[in-house]
Chains A and B, each alone.
Chain A
Amino acid sequence: AQKVTQAQTEISVVEKEDVTLDCVYETRDTTYYLFWYKQPPSGELVFLIRRNSFDEQNEISGRYSWNFQKSTSSFNFTITASQVVDSAVYFCALSEDTNAGKSTFGDGTTLTVKP
């Protein structure tokens, strides 16, 4: 069975601080996909990144970076120099190749960035 744990329910930082959102997953599949989505107060889920299980390369996109470590089953997300517009709920999700169609979402981390 697949499971995603986002242990941090809420995080509050001051603008320009760096912040890391944790994601730990469980799966028995060797082929799987990990995702991060952002949900601002408007409600729409915005796709941020997709990583497959065979690609452990870390990724940087502007102020965003992701650290994928299979050894610890983690896929953490760091925002550098946070901004007020980063305030949102962030979801980590997992899709198994053998369970295609059923993505499992973590409970989400609510990030508040204060000016």
Chain B
Amino acid sequence: DTEVTQTPKHLVMGMTNKKSLKCEQHMGHRAMYWYKQKAKKPPELMFVYSYEKLSINESVPSRFSPECPNSSLLNLHLHALQPEDSALYLCASSLGTSGTRHFGPGTRLTVL
């Protein structure tokens, strides 16, 4: 299996909702990432997990809460989001933190 999968593909939520984004890879990669991408902009790094431990948090607001239950799974829990949080959320994985990021197809999030 050489891909990163993400669910759901699309998500619409209200500002009071709680939802989760899921990411999975079975390539034996030990680093996993969450990126946020706004239209016509490059991906912005949010979080990095290395060996299932959070190693980088790029000063992301606490309404975004990452979780890495095991080496293959990465979640992003969302709560009390703002309309400006609407974006494409990309998950990626790599063998190590210097390795090539393999990206999932993304979840397109709309916050109403």
Q: Which residues of B contact A (CB under 8 A)?
A: 31, 33, 40-43, 45, 48, 50, 55-56, 88, 90, 92, 96-98, 100-106, 108
* A101 & B42 in contact (Cβ 8 Å cutoff): no
Interface extent on A, as a size class? 20 to 34
Cβ of A112 within 8 Å of any chain B Cβ, yes or no, is no
| Chain A residues with CB under 8 A of B42 | 91, 105-108
Q: Is A47 within 8 A of B105, CB to CB?
A: no
Residue of A whose beta carbon sits closest to that of B45: A102
Q: A43-B105, A102-B56 are contacts. A95–B41 as well, Cβ < 8 Å?
A: no
Residues in A31-51 with C-beta less than 8 Å from chain B: 33, 35, 37, 42-47, 50
Query: Can you list 18 pairs linking A and B with CB atoms under 8 Å apart?
Result: A35-B100, A37-B103, A42-B105, A43-B106, A44-B106, A45-B92, A47-B103, A100-B96, A100-B98, A101-B31, A101-B45, A102-B45, A102-B48, A102-B56, A107-B41, A108-B41, A108-B42, A110-B40
Could you say which residues of chain B place their CB within 8 Å of the CB of A108? 40-42
The proximity string for A residues 69-109 relative to B, scoring 1 for CB distances below 8 Å and 0 otherwise, is: 00000000000000000000001000101001111011110
Closest Cβ–Cβ distance, residue A68 to chain B (whole Å): 16
A44 in contact with B104 (CB, 8 Å): yes
A44 neighbours in B (Cβ, 8 Å): 103-106
The answer to whether B45 and A103 have CB atoms under 8 Å apart is yes
Bound state CA distance, A29 and B106, in angstroms? 31
| A47 to B40 CA separation, bound complex (whole angstroms) | 18
